[in-house]
Amino acid sequence: MTPSHLPDLGPLLGLDLGTKTVGVAVSDRAQQLAVAVETIRVTRPTAGLPRLEILARERAAVGLVVGLPLHLDGRAGTRAQGARRVAGILGDALALPVTLWDERLSTRAVELALIRADVSRARRRRAVWMLQGFLDSLH
**Which residue type occupies 113?**
A
pLDDT for position 115: 67
What are the DSSP E strand ranges found in the chain? 12-17, 21-27, 34-41, 63-68, 98-102
pLDDT for position 56: 97
Q: Which fold has domain 12-134?
A: Nucleotidyltransferase; domain 5 (3.30.420)
Could you give the CA distance from residue 83 to residue 64 in angstroms, rounded to a whole number?
A: 13
Q: Give strand pairing partners of 24.
A: 15, 38
Residue 131 is inside which H or E element, if any? helix 126-138
pLDDT for position 113: 64
pLDDT for position 105: 61
pLDDT for position 123: 45
Average pLDDT per 10 consecutive residues for the chain, totaling 139 residues: 75 92 94 93 89 97 91 72 92 95 67 62 67 86
pLDDT for position 59: 97
pLDDT for position 124: 46
pLDDT for position 98: 96
Nearest to 126 by CA among 43, 66, 70: 66
Backbone angles phi, psi at 25, to 5 degrees: -125, 165
pLDDT for position 38: 93
Domain ranges for the chain, please list them. Answer: 12-134
pLDDT for position 70: 76
Residue 87 is inside which H or E element, if any? helix 78-94
